[in-house]
Structure 1
C-alpha cells in the first residue's frame, strides 16, 4: 500500500492507500513509520510505542519489527510488473491447490516483491530460508493449517513458475 501511495499522483488516492495500510496494520497492533534517510518503511508493534516514540524498555524482541526498502530496484522491472507476474503464479496455485496454499503463495509473493523487488522464479535458496525462518513466522499471521502446509505451498508455487524450489545445500543448513 505504501508503494502504491508513492506511485499515484492524486493526493486523495495516496491518502486512501495509506489509510488502508494503517487499518490493516492496526488489526495486528502495528504502526508504520517512514525512515526518510534510506526510504525504508518500518513497522513497529504498538506495544513498543509511547505516542510517537519507541520506548526501548518495551522492546522484548527486535525481530518483531519489520523493515521494507521502498527504493530497492531490480533490473528493468518495476514493482507493479513484478507484482503482476507474482500474482499470476499465486492465482495458479489458488486454482490448482486452493487454501491454505494460496495464502502461503501470496505471503511468499509479498515477501519477494516487497522486500527484494524480485520475481518468484528468481528466488534463491537464501530467500526461501529467510522467508520460512524469519519473515513467515513474524509477518504472515498464518493459521495452523497454513503453517503446516507452507513447504508444500512453496513447492506448488515454484512448480507454477516452472522451476525447482531452491533449497539450501545440506552442509549449509543448521
Structure 2
C-alpha cells in the first residue's frame, strides 16, 4: 500500500518557493543557490565526463554544507532545478509529513525562451569580463562585477554588458538589496563598478538604472 505521506522526489518541486527571482529567507543562502544553478548549467552543457563529475561533486558539496539536496523536475518539457532540505527525504522520496515550511525549497527554471543554447559561452564571457575588471580596477570592483555576472547569467542568461537599463535597475534595487549582501565598500562604488564593466567591454552604459 502506498504511503500517503510519501511522494516522488522529482515531483515535489511544486511545494517549493517562488523560484529564482524570490528571496530565500531560509538556511540556504542565495549566493549558494546561484552557484548551484551555475554548476548545474555547466554540468548539463559539458561533454567531458571528468568535467561533468567535477561540477556534480562541487554542487553536492555546496548543498551538503547546508543539508540540502537537488532534483530536476520536468514541467511540460522544461526542466526545473529543485533545491530542498535533506530532512524531507527518506529512501529517495519526499515525506510530505516532514515538510514544515514549503518556502524552504527553491525552484529555478533551467530552460525557457530567455535562455540561449550557448549558456556556457555566456557564462565564460561574463567570468572573463569579471577577471578583467578585477585585474584593472581591484577586488572591490571585481566583487561587484562578479555579483553582476551572477545576476546576468542566472536570471537572464545573457552577457552582463548586454543588460538593459531596466535590468540594471532590477539588479540594483532588488537583487543587490535582497539577495547579494555586498560590503559597505562595494555598495559605495556600485555605480562606478557597473560603469567599469561596460567600459571594459567597450559598451555604452544604459541610461536608466533606477
TM-score (structure 2 length as normaliser): 0.61
Higher mean alpha-carbon deviation, 138-147 vs 105-114, is at 138-147
Query: Which is greater in Rg?
Result: 2
Cα distance change, pair 16–88 in 1 and its aligned pair in 2 (3 A): closer
TM-score (structure 1 length as normaliser): 0.71
* Corresponding residue number in structure 2 for 1:104: 144
Q: Deviations over 1:128-160 (max 9, x none)?
A: 122223333444353333333322221211111
RMSD of the TM alignment (CA)?
A: 3.3
Unaligned runs of 5+ in 1: none
* Corresponding residue number in structure 1 for 2:20: none
2:196 maps to 1:156: yes
Higher mean alpha-carbon deviation, 133-142 vs 110-119, is at 133-142
Distance between the aligned counterparts of 2:183 and 2:69, measured in 1?
A: 22
Aligned length: 165
Q: How far is the alpha carbon of 1:71 from its aligned partner?
A: 1.9
Unaligned runs of 5+ in 2: 1-38
Which of 28, 45, 58 pairs up with 2:101?
58
2:79 maps to 1:36: no
Which of 4, 8, 24 pairs up with 2:62?
24
Cα distance change, pair 89–16 in 1 and its aligned pair in 2 (3 A): closer
1:105-144 → structure 2 map (5 Å cutoff):
105-144=145-184
